[in-house]
Structure 1
Amino acid sequence: MEVDLGEPQMLAIGQLADRTGLSVSAIRFYEARGLVTALRNRGGQRRFLRSEIRRLSFILIAQQLGFTLGQIREQLAALPQGRAPTQQDWARISRSFRNSLDERIDGLVRLRDRLDGCIGCGCLSLRKCALYNPDDRLGRLGPGPRLLLGDAPSEPAISPAAAIGSS
């Protein structure tokens, strides 16, 4: 059964700001960058489709997760202009965004779980560093915190029996 929603509800920029929690200037900024689209009424005032609330909410959350405006714009480009995106439209974005989100989640979990131990950065300041990264062997794999970046030592640095006494 189809539901006729009639004419799309249009919102003034202030109404959109009130609903999204964004400032009017932020909405204008996103509009100028092509992330949202405003229509103009006869008086030249901006009017937005109600569906722009979801786009702005997506922008807000994606930015909080560290995505750049370019990355966000790339995702939003897949959505239709001039009509409210359907569930299928958002599902398409979700599938394409999922890998990037999963990588970020994995990185956050590694950071949470390993920050109090050796992260493979080469500082060698913790006792555990001698076990996981003796003589900064992980530095051969490249710069940065190799264990947080997903590298694993290729071989145990010392025997498991010796490791028990050094923790």
Structure 2
Amino acid sequence: MLMIKRCPSKSDDKLRNKCENSGEMKTQLLNKPVTSLKSGLTYRNIHCPECFNDSLVNAIIWTIRMECDEKANFNLLSSYSAIIELAEKKQCDLFYHTKSIANYIRSCHINPKNNVDVISTCNVSGTWKTFDRDIEFACQMYDNIFLLFKNVYCYICNPLPENIDMI
């Protein structure tokens, strides 16, 4: 899944800083990724959709999972400081996940040949600035529906009008 991690350059500096800087673990715990059901896009945190005037009404905020080298019980902890301290002590890794958006992403089992709405070629949007032969080849080669596209490569070679950096 691609995640929008930057605001357009014309965005307010303060807002852009909140979106783009993941910072310390406390910031990561507080600012979890979010998926907008309006646009279908996933953003690094709750501040990034503001850069694109995307609504967070009915948005899905991702949850956090920690995997630790040693057993750790976070259930009894009541502050972010205590959670972070235990996570560092037990050598934990932080992961974001969600099961909730599966109903909002089109299935890989759809056959694009039977679905006229699927975008299956590059630069239909007219906004692809740098041609990449490998991406165009990948767009043509396989069927694995991603949003309204034949596959993720067709999505990449049909960028949104705004200059958006994604991971």
Question: Shorter-chain TM-score: what band?
Answer: under 0.3
**Comparing both structures, which one devotes a greater share of its residues to strand?**
2
| Normalised TM-score (structure 2) | 0.24
Higher radius of gyration, 1 or 2: 1
